[in-house]
A and B are shown apart, each in its own frame.
Chain A
């Protein structure tokens, strides 16, 4: 059995967490590309998505769910690894279900944001719950920007 070697340099033990040693961390950000789709489930959400689309993002597309066109989803999800669904009303349940099932089939991470802007959001939350890995209920539209920015959209 090999003898245990004790650390000899500062960076080879837990003291590497000091501020001085922190300066030696590799400064280049880790490689990270996320292909995101942000999908509005209703008319109110479409306005939110339209506003988001004017901001600078990486590989992100902003869409409005089109229940009348059966093939739209498959095309849009082809390269995606993250889908955020946005609801501002209770009428997007069927669309959320379709998107959620398709994302599950393709191994795409899903998030749901219910913007509780003056409506009883229980139905929207219940509709999204089975299909969103993370569900954020908020009155603050800036939260959408914040989550998208933080996950690298």
Chain B
């Protein structure tokens, strides 16, 4: 069980909070590039780390992420006009009284002021950088002086035909969502049917090891950027099947691969303290995704999900009890009655409440990865607050990691045996069984 004050520290990410300050040291996914596909795209409301913002792309194609509300009367800039005219300067004009802002949040026009007024130069909305890397628009919401190099996660650095990213709204605090990504022990239970049926999982030798050994052993080891959480199960001839999940601080995890299937993972981003975005990716280091693979992802298979049309809200959600199917549960097609890996996780994590009360939980030793991750987050947040220490995961070298699935002799150290496999090396295939 966790002390209430530690739970508060870990889960609150708004401005001025210790964990919020920690998140503001990193580049984090803000939205998908598809949400602002072209110059002049309609502005998009974005809430991140409990701050309401507007993302837009001006007529010159530049991305901006600024305070959602006009400095004049506080009207939402979502109603604004992203001006595209030949004689107009690039920028977003408030629909109420016509104040206009550029992508840096600088006010560039106040129509009620005289033509030669310099008043607008003294008005600037809070803004953050918004940069496209891969299929994702990233932002850094901290002090620009400490802005790190752009993210180097392999999934956003491989060519576009090798990668696919989706996102979904999860109605829970970010931490309980992330902890699902670190906790490997639930996979053999909650997701067991997916290993047999899902087009993006089925058919690998690793699935057999998974399903034949329901009581795995765990090893948790520090990495430069966070942790390696390794799970071993029995394989043939006294050897072990290892699945190694890297966690890079603050909230990036990668699922170990299965056979030649694409490698997947998540970036969990706080919207506010009771909601988060789950950015979910699949990629391959050395080959393009096939059309069938990409279509399966779009159809919600693997770790992706189906949507309420026109939104990033999952089709299965609180309003419909996640489309619980008791008959499928009885037939063993799903373990929880909920279809799909992503929504199996989300339904249970949302059921814990908006912010789970960790002072009442009863962990077991198999939860050591979660225990250690929480501790690393607390330590990093306090070291940042008290000493200004740079947290793990900020440096791009920490981000060049991969997950691994492999079979090793019983006496082998997974860390030694898989040192190369755990490193993202361009042009080298993933280590997978």
Contact = CB atoms under 8 A, between A and B. Distances in A.
Indicate whether A and B interact: yes
Interface of A: 7, 13-19, 22, 25, 29-30, 32, 82, 84, 109-111, 122, 125-126, 129-130, 132-140, 142-143, 146-147, 149-152
14 contacts: A13-B318, A19-B355, A25-B357, A32-B362, A109-B365, A111-B365, A125-B219, A129-B411, A134-B365, A134-B368, A137-B220, A138-B222, A140-B375, A150-B367
Sorting the interface of chain B by its residue count into under 10, 10 to 19, 20 to 34 or 35 or more gives 35 or more
B218 A137 contact: no
A93 to B, nearest CB: 11
Contacts of A109: 364-365
Interface in B194-233: 217-222
B352 A17 contact: yes
B310 to A, nearest CB: 22
Contacts of B398: none
A146 B351 CA distance: 26
Contacts of A146: 371-372, 375
Given A135-B217, A138-B222, A22 B353 contact: yes
Contacts of A18: 353-354
A140 B125 CA distance: 44
Contacts of A135: 217-220
Nearest to B232: A129
Interface string B404-433: 000000110100100000000000000000
Given A15-B319, A134-B218, A150-B367, 9 more contacts: A17-B350, A18-B354, A22-B354, A132-B217, A137-B220, A146-B371, A147-B365, A150-B2, A152-B363
Which 8 pairs from chain A and chain B are nearest by CB?
A: A111-B365, A14-B318, A22-B353, A134-B365, A135-B219, A134-B218, A150-B363, A137-B221
B368 A147 contact: yes
Interface in B335-349: 347
A65 B139 CA distance: 53
Nearest to A4: B326
B171 interface: yes
Given A13-B321, A122-B416, A138 B372 contact: yes
Nearest to B410: A130
A30 B365 contact: no
B393 to A, nearest CB: 17
Contacts of A30: 360, 362
A147 B368 CA distance: 7
B217 A122 contact: no
Contacts of A150: 1-2, 363, 367, 371
B219 A129 contact: yes
B322 interface: yes
A120 B224 CA distance: 18
Nearest to A21: B353
A14 B410 contact: no
B133 interface: no
Contacts of B172: 17
A17 B365 contact: no
A17 B351 contact: yes
